[in-house]
Amino acid sequence: MVKPYQIPSGSMEPTLDIGQRVLVNRFLYHVKDPKVGDIVVFHPPAGAEGGAGEQCGVNRNQDEPCPTPTSQQASDNFIKRIVAGPGDKIAVKEGHPVVNGRMVADEPYINPCLSCNLPRAITVPPDHYFMMGDNRGASDDSREWGPIPRGWIIGEAFATYWPPNRIGGL
């Protein structure tokens, strides 16, 4: 089943602009696992939809990503890119994920962020995914509220259909 979604914020710029519309495959992850690089629509943890305050489910050091989200999901939908999967160790250097000790530097689709650093790594729990927006300096994402349980993922965005000059695959 495919469903349309509208991009509500600039957190995925330059890949997806505010107001742009995407098509999301809601069936795909019933037959295959999400993978790093997928752009997905999901429910964030409760509290994340306000964009302010602490949504991490545990106390943590300021220089590490959130290891665990709150236990309740929000009813809102977010769209981000998966940057790490179950069992991966992740830190962030200058906005780039450092996964299992290797910096992912080949990300031509992001807006860089030299001040986006979380040098202390966490391990993504089983059946969880670490999400980051492509506009790293303006994205409320797993760095603040932790990896997302697989069950909170709605589906993969695979195409844009509005505006007409941005029609295409993702």
| Residues marked as catalytic | 11, 80
How far is residue 127's CA from residue 24's CA, in Å, rounded to a whole number?
21
Residues facing residue 162 across a β-bridge? 21
Which residue's structure tokens are 């992740």? 90
- Any residues with CB less than 8 A from the CB of 31 and at least 6 apart, and which? none
For residue 91, give the nearest of 124, 113, 69, 58 by alpha carbon.
Answer: 124
